[in-house]
Structure 1
Amino acid sequence: MSNKVEISPEQVREYLLNNPTFLETFVTSTQISNESFQRWSWRRDSHKIRKSASSSAISSTNLLDEPRDILLSAYKTRNGILYEMASACARLANCEKFELLVPGREGEESVCVMKEETGALKLRKARKHRRDPGFILPLIDPTEKKLGEIRFFGVINDRDRIFLGLFEKWASACVYFSQLYRRHEAKSNGAHPPTTPSPSPEDVEFIARQRKLNAFLLEVVRSLFQDIERTEVLISKVLQFAQKLVDADRASLFFVDHRTNELYSRIFDSGLEGNANVSISTDGLKEFRFPMGKGIAGHVATSGEGVNIANAYEDDRFNSDIDSKTGYHTTTILCMPIFVRKWYVLFLIFKTKDYPSFLGLNQRRQKNVMGVMQMVNKKGGGPYTQVDEEAFETFAVYCGLALHHAKLYDKIRRSEIKHRVAMEVLSYHGVCNSDEVNKLKKSVPQAESLQLLENFDFNAYSLSAVEKPLYAVYMFDTLFREKFQYPHDDLIRFVLTVRKNYRVVPYHNWSHGWTVAHCSFVTLRKTHIFSLIEEIALYIACLCHDLDHRGKNNAYMKSMSTPLAMIYSTSVMEHHHFNQTVTILQQEGHNILQSLTREQYKECLSLMKHFILATDLALFFKNKDRMKDILTEGSFEWDRKDHRSLAQALLMTSCDLVASAKPWSIQTDTVKVIFQEFYDQGDAEKKNGASPIPMMDREKAAEMPDLQVGFLQGICLVCFDLISQVLPATTQLLDRSKQNLGKWKQLAAESKSKQLLIEVEATKKSADDNNEENEAH
């Protein structure tokens, strides 16, 4: 017979308390029926309610009796009924924190109904909470109209949700029938029953308060953004507006320095936080700095949450040493953060592709805090109210935008100043000096050279470094001296500065720019079809068309992802050349177009851009195809704008290619420097792991004559042929290039013969070596 062990209830209770996991596993197992589990849960919650009611001296009868009396006395106030209903629901569910939201007027967002200590109801804008409510109870009247919703910030179990749902239906019906009764009362008294419920006193107060706040904010925006370029004035105004908004005695604004994890202030009113250090900023202004985690302002900056302190001396974060030093007594403090708005942060995140920042945005809210505003001692006594907090939150949006853009403006202004300083330095080194101007003014052109200057065959290499700018000035004077007014010293400075802004590269240098300008000079002297503005634009464009050329073509610029290629998507270097031209014209003492009218000046710049962009051979192929079609049809007309523009572009390309139409001795010297520049680019491409085209491969120099034949036939002769048909005065360019083509073909044939002979000799030598080797074996 087995012995039975007696276990007392106390032993069981002690075991279960020491082994909660066992109890949880047993209670939630399938051995316990759903009915038993629900019954136990019901009994537990009922016990909690009874205990809560007992501890607060409220009996279960009073739990419903007291709200019933309030509901009956407040039947005329809808929001009052709804609030008491929400309060009763929260007590029924034993939830300490709840919120009642009701629809705003005229389609506005929902507003929150709150009750002050005096018992008066207030309306405020619904606030966003850091955590979502545990349960939302919608309030729907019998006509399916939504009266509002109750948000419970706590755990609500299933049983309480059923009770709350039942209670809500009866209470919502109560609100609905109270509205009907009010209309009946109004009709019985002879008044016209309102079609819509009249606003409650708190509605009227809320609307009036919002209108007052809106008017205040309008004044804030108008005033702040007028002074956005003066940061110190803006900060002073922000402080004044903040004091006025919440009726504060004093206000302080601290900025957050995330780099050093400090708060700093350039304008300080009172109550400087502990551990402050006075320092001098980079712009020479005094700053008060202290660690970001210290004091009330530091706490707000770190947490991103505002604080409303009714008694500063009871808060451990408050530093009373400042009051001791200044004699000022701090009582109440409202300290609120000022954010860089989230949309701007998201923009920066996506711009920099810092997606982890996006994922952790809410967890790192303090990163968005740009400053902290601290208001001290509300005038008239008393603490800062929730209405003050809400008003400041709205104010902080405009305040943050104004301060943020003021900072951006200050950075832009400083960058602009630095840019101007850099431009002054560059202009000193990139603009001609007075000695160069005086030296050129004393120089006189040679009569023999002037006579040769009127012909396309003129050799620019025959001129010295001083003579080229001298003759460039002479050509401009010859073309335009009698046609429009310009300061002659400005013309000299302009030409000398253009020369200075050509880089020292083998081909696309100042000599090439001068040669192209000379070709336009000869063309304009031989023709009279262009207007004054067209002639000015053509000559200046030719002289400046390769300014600051780096000896590399557009394809290289794009393949190497150079800064210029990032600025311009097409015609990279040509756009840069035009911008450099405009930059020189805008330099003091260089604007040779100053006497033109506004319209003439705009037209001249537009034509200069058109001419310079035409030097991009990628555009030439489209232009020549269009001109071929027009000439084949026999429909070309100078009076047609599109035909004239096409002819201008082809003339500019012809001037740029004029080296191919020079006498043979000049042509061969020019080709040597052209290919020297090509080979330099090819070497750079090889160094970067790219394979250059044959024209730029130094190892294929033997193919140069053949490449020149292809260049002359495919581009130069085609261009000269088309332009000679619309401008017969340029026929010499076509004739001379044909002569050069014949000589290049001869050189190409000789080169091929030599190459063939070399290959034959190499083959013969190889065969002889093989025979000798075989005989040796």
Structure 2
Amino acid sequence: MQGLNEDVVCEFLAAHPDVLERIVTGPTVTRETFQRWSLRRASLTRKHSRKDFGDATLESRRRAILDHADNRVRILYELSQFCAQLVGTEAVELVIQNNEGAFTCKKTSEGELKLRKASFFSNNALWLTCLELSSTLVLKLKKHRKPASYVQSIINCAHQTIGELHFFVPVPETEKRWLNTLCMWASSVNYFAELSTHALASNGTEETHDNVARQRKLANFLLDVAKSIFHDIVSMDSVIIKVMNFAQKLVDADRASLFLVDAKSKEIYARIFDVGTGEEEHSRLSDTPQKEIRFDISKGIAGYVASTGEGLNIEEAYEDERFNAEVDSKTGYVTKTILCMPIFIRGAVIGVVQMVNKHTGVFTKQDEDSFEIFAVYCGLALHHAKLYDKIRRSEQKYRVALEVLAYHSVCNKDEVNKLKKIQINERVMELETFDFNGMRLSELEKPLYAVYMFRTLFSETLRFDVDDLTRFVLTVRKNYRRVAYHNWAHGWSVAHAMFVLLMKNKSLFTPNEALALFVSCLCHDLDHRGKNNAYMKTMSTPLAAIYTTSVMEHHHFNQTVTILQQDGHNILKSLTSDEYKQTLGLIKHCILATDLALFFANKARLNKIVDAGDFDITSPDHRSLTQAVLMTGCDLIASAKPWSIQTETVKVIFEEFYDQGDAERLSGKQPMAMMDRQQAHQLPQMQVGFMRGICLPCYELIGKVLPRAISLRDRCEYNATKWEELATEQKKSEEKLST
């Protein structure tokens, strides 16, 4: 037994496969283990079969298709080999349809494929098993075959089925989409090549030869397009950049822009507005995402093409009344010639490509014709990229939903009955002041007072079921996570601040507006994970994949809607359909406004209006800005509480910050000073910056709009001064230690 090792055992099993079979299929190996081995074997086999799926293989396939563009059988054979490598199988069955009868293939000594008539097939089809073994092509005619696991049809641009690929291994959904895309592009090239061959046969003039040469050059270009876009089709921005770059090359333009059509809003929009020539420009656009811009579909040259579906070839841009010269005046760029062409999918315009300033002369009819063919590829690429984006977002939403369901639950009957037994029948005056300390309330008292505040505000203006309200409040409590700061206690405090504001300014907002504001405050941080938006994006969390802006705030709103949709939780059910939509829309606006990244723009706009003396609370825009700023003020209410409450709250806030910093450090990232536990001694100084830079400007603005809330600014000023004193003492202590 001393000489027994792994090599000896492997050698023995290789020489006695029957022993290995008895072990593997015997009772000592469980079904789960056997299935796991099988899956691993299949994965390794597929990976091994793809070992040659590189640039060299792609180039050889591409060259073969170009050299045999007039030979449908050869093109379909090369396509079948490519698809076999993509799926990771050793064989694929190719079925070539032909109206004159079935054909078989024979390989000559020169390596060319020739056709021979085979009359014994009644279905006018050729069944071929195409294998490539030791660089030798083997073609086998099969009368009997097992059913295919998946069949991929090959349909040309004339909607004719010219062949089928039969796979006898399971093909994942993702690879089915790749196969579908590849077959559509390859069959399109074959169709146009056959048109060119037919034209050459019917007309032997020099002009026809030139046309065929151009068609072959275009086919070569389109194959490069297919190869390039194929690799990045899962990224919409990458596809857009590639489409614009290829559009430039196709018509020799200086610049190109691509606009997508938003059929719902009747607008055209672009995330990547303009691409110039050169790799440096391409890289810059890839690394620096640009802000989305939108235009009304009825305006401009691109809008005209998008709305009519007709291309425009403009030789003098400034002489066309539809041209907008404002962009040129801002950038200094001079637009001369424009070729603006639509991109269709299923008969509808989904996008517009605008190419500017042809390097040599003006855009020609040939440029227009070439782009019409190129637009087919653009449409397919953009359509599939959108599908992949939707699938990816759906998968991420599914993951988030599972996570939320695993963590949360709806309140139970015992909790509802327990809360209903306790009633607050008298007015609680101290609750109507900003100084009220919600931290001293028990877990039972918080939902009790939340119900009390709701009933106090809306008993006379809104019909609601008390049981529904109780269930709603208790379920909201359950949907706050047990994190250090952004928990149920914080949500309650923010709702209390809004309650006081609404009680002091009862006639300021309509009952439905007040309802939206209060509910928004109560729910504004639902399912908060104790991590900010920057962390979500940096760590590539599922939530960051779903929402590109205000990540957590969008999630908080969606959680609010989810609770309202639960049976017995809809406190808005007495509203009419229009009122319900308006109230829900305002709730979304208010919750998103708690993203501090949006506060600065809101503050600047409202300050400008107030300072100019133009503020009018009845103006929808002014009203919306006021509501947004009030949400921020309530969210920051801890900074305007008495000093004892303020200091206690700040400790909790920074404990959550430090938890995030610890998580970032574990991931190999250096946290910012505010999140760094090692920089805790700088807390007073950082708090001064926060109070002076964000909180005080917020409450000063609220004081201008709502004079009855001026006490918030005064309390915040007092607290900021106290933090400055602590920061000064801290600095003196550090100086003493350093000396």
TM-score by length of 2: 0.49
Computing the radius of gyration from Cα coordinates, the structure with the larger value is 1
TM-score, normalization by structure 1: 0.47
